[in-house]
Amino acid sequence: MTVHSNNHNPFSIAQQQIKACADILGLDAGVREILLHPMRELHVSFPVRMDDGSTKVFQGFRVQYNDARGPAKGGIRFHPDETIDTVRALAAWMTWKCSLLDLPLGGGKGGVVCNPKEFSSSELERISRAYIRAVSQFIGPERDVPAPDVYTNPQIMAWMADEYSSIIGTHQFGVITGKPLPLGGSAGRADATARGGMFTLREAAREIGLDLSKATMAVQGYGNAGSYAASLAESMFGSKVLAVCDSSGAIVCQDGLCLLALQQHKSKTFSVLYCVGTECMSNGELLEMDVDVLVLAALEGVVTEQNADKIKAKIVVELANGPTSPEADEILYRKGIHVIPDFLCNAGGVTVSYFEMVQNAYMYYWDEEDVREKLDKKMTRAYHEVLATSRKYQINMRKAAYVLAVERVVEAMKLRGWI
């Protein structure tokens, strides 16, 4: 299991960000203490029978960071390097994300320490069901609603929803979002994270006077969100994607990548490397390319004080959670680079998950056009609220997003009599 250095421990970063926000808002010590720690967390170990008849024990987590504004909401990751501090940080960011988008939800996150690529479909199903059995008393439609995250998908959510329904004894598909459409999923969920990010990119480009139809882009992390971001930037704005990378490495084509060919290549080889008409480069070189827009769509901690000064993009689009360290934030701000912070930029996923909860609750489902229109309205409003707060306090966009989000959570805690 990866051990993060203190400087790049994701939860330490999340706490640093809260402290900086608390200073701006002048919050007292008691309020700070509540905001700096999860309200609840569950650690579980559960056995799973493998296809060869052996039994393997898995470690899992579920963290409910703050639920002052409503039930906890947040994804479940299957990742070999999962740690409790990563889950804590992600649960904190989900709290601020839901608040920032003015959703009636708190923040949660979960994870299982495993590499899903090593398991068969039947083994993944047993892992998914066993995890839900282990946390079933901790979640529920009015308590904590999980969703997909890194290396989990609609099929895994379907198994989890079915297992929870079996435990409760009634149909409880509202316990999970990101489900397949036949089981109460929402239209427009698949590309919601990337599409929401593209709505904020559109507004940011207008703000700095960048013509996206002539803009160049590099995408760090060509997974679900990153691949959707690349194709949406091309189809919505006419932007040219020059480079992408995944865990195997990075590729570049100065004339612009053929995204259709790239998708076909990756589906066959499970890697972006050696796609026809491209050259290989390092992931570090991709981050430092002279492009208009840099999309960060991989894992946390990729832009640090060591490489931030080498970033040349005009706009940084943070589709990943926690890709930029606090020290790097200040460097980018001084350089005049417009950063669309993670829990604003990637909030499209949780927003459409919230729409899915609403649709599940009253058993009526919207079409994709309705979902996209509602998502655009939510993301655009949130972007401009953050921008106005940034100007008001003369602070960077991330600190402005924190100020807005934390203010709303603190208000809810006061109204409930917690503080």
Which residues have a catalytic role annotated?
Answer: 109
Q: By CB neighbour count within 10 A (0-12 exposed, 13-18 middle, 19+ buried), where does 372 fall?
A: buried
How many other β-carbons are positioned within 10 Å of the β-carbon of residue 17?
24
What CA–CA distance (Å, rounded) separates 116 from 122?
11
Tell me the β-bridge partners of 219. Answer: 244, 295
- Which structure tokens are listed for 216? 């160049």
Tell me the β-bridge partners of 146. Answer: 74
How big is the CA angle at 10 (ends 396 and 118), to the nearest 5 degrees?
A: 130
Residues 6+ apart with CB under 8 A from 270: none
The total number of residues written for the chain in this structure = 419
Question: Residue holding tokens 């309205």?
Answer: 377
What CA–CA distance (Å, rounded) separates 168 from 162?
10
In a 13 Å sphere around the CA of 407, the CA atoms on its Cβ side amount to: 15
Tell me the β-bridge partners of 148. Answer: 76
Q: In the sheet that 55-66 helps form, which strands lie side by side, from edge to edge? A: 40-49, 55-66, 106-113, 72-79, 144-148
The answer for 301, left when phi > 0, alpha when psi is -120 to 50, beta otherwise, is left
Question: Residue holding tokens 């790239």?
Answer: 262
- Which structure tokens are listed for 285? 């070189």
What CA–CA distance (Å, rounded) separates 191 from 72?
22
| DSSP code per residue over 103-132 | -S-EEEEEEEE--GGGS-HHHHHHHHHHHH
β-pairing verdict for 240-246 and 40-49:
unpaired
Q: Which helix H or strand E contains 61, and what residues bound it?
A: strand 55-66
In a 13 Å sphere around the CA of 247, the CA atoms on its Cβ side amount to: 5
